[in-house]
Structure 1
Amino acid sequence: MEVDKLKEYITSYSLNNCVRGSQGYTRVLMQLFGFLGHGKSSLINSCKYVLGDKAYTPCAQAAPADGGLTMERRAYPLTDTITMVDNRGCSTMNSFEMGEVYAQLGNFLPLNEQVEWTKEYEDMICQLEDADVEPNFTDFIVPIFVYSARKDVADKEVEEMKTIFKNCRDLTGIYPIIVLTNKTSGNFSRLRDIFEGLGAEEILAVENYTEEDHVKTRGRHMQFLKLIHKVLEDVNFRMQEERNPRKERAERKKFLLKFVHNRDTKQ
């Protein structure tokens, strides 16, 4: 598709037009996760810029390359149906931080509120009980792992990522889409090979628009439109099956409780 056709498809997308209708879903949630300072916020700003008709205006506050500013789970609507979520990033992939990442991806933590890392099973139980007061089961979740091409993948992280990606698939039903940011500033080919070896099904490379560099080009626009289109293709594929949003939320909760219980038992 050309830029205008892709943009029109995305902005007019409705879950009601899926083969079986919306089946109780009201929104597609593009859930960004990954390490601190790898470009999640800048990716959101770029997607909003590409879909809008206005000058570049950063909505999500981006951090320096080695920083990371997002300490909350912040939602940014792209269209009436599609929302991107800037989840709090992790500094390491230890089991404590990943438990909190899974809680965010599973939609058990409220949007637009501070995210506090929990370290006890009881704390996670309290979070889940709070989430059950007003349970959110109408979001169709698509996980997106963001990694900067400026960084190298340490050997110990490879096996950790393999487990994490499998857990994300088990949690959401979709293997995470891999987005490599800063594609012209690092060894993209090596990273692509690593993530393919981990079983990644979709790997996209982007160069985020920034306040310093936001000159529109067709090729750069297509990077972000293709990402959103890939998300919608995953949604359409999964929505061909008969689905039960309430039951799927219950299964996500079981997964999270089992993960945290096993984690604390090992500790």
Structure 2
Amino acid sequence: MDRLKGLTEQEKAACLIAERVLSAVAEPWDIAGRSGVVDAMLTLADGRRAAFEVTVLAAEGALQTDSLMRRENHSWPLPGKWLWSIRIGAPADILRLRDSYQRIILACEAAGVQRPEDLPWRDQMADPDIRWLVEESTSKMTGHDSAPAVGGGETRSAMLGPPARVGIVDRSLTGLRPALEKAFAQHHMPRHLEKLMRAEADERHLFIPMHLSALPFSVIDGLMASETLPPDAPPLPQAITHLWLAPPFSRRVLLWNGAEWRNHHPYDD
């Protein structure tokens, strides 16, 4: 029997992490006709109760883009001779590119260029989809002329992925607090904060699974790649006592307990 029935897979995972870290027991709460309540209640080891709210943090459109790319199996058939990678910047881009990417690829290969923006200006202006991709879209297409589309008797596919993110890494995590202040102002976050603050409990925990796009590259990479603890308290309303941050592709989860940050490694055996 699934004792966490009624929760999403993401909410279940968060509850299991909290149980392991705190030696607590989670109970689904936002079920059975309840409205405007937190996702779960935790019974802590000392018998006290903690309200537990889970909400993902991601850049606008990033989760929808990921969902659309999964439907496409992160790949499209290649029409030409080269291997291509396509970085999708927004949900609407994938719909337009699906209908135009093959023509764009063939135009680039015919001109011997690896990026649509390197096509002659007159060719860019002559094709509305190429002009849109170069001038308006946040998506990028890159051809790899040294990697053939057909190799070893197998036809490869164009690879779909999110936008590349590069930059200097904030290993001190001094940028985390201002980044969270900005993120907490996103349209969906105040609703979750208010719901948690209304909960009658001894403690109030906000658990945030973080998408790769959630925060600036310097901060999210610092969270992912190091064991450094942030130097500053998070910008939480006073009524919220605990904040969990679960960075993507990381073995650690960070927990602010009202007094200090701590690292936990609930994925380890």
* Same fold by TM-score greater than 0.5: no
Higher helix share: 1
Higher strand share: 2
Structure 2 length-normalised TM? 0.28
Structure 1 length-normalised TM? 0.29
Larger relative contact order (CA 8 Å, sep ≥ 6) = 1
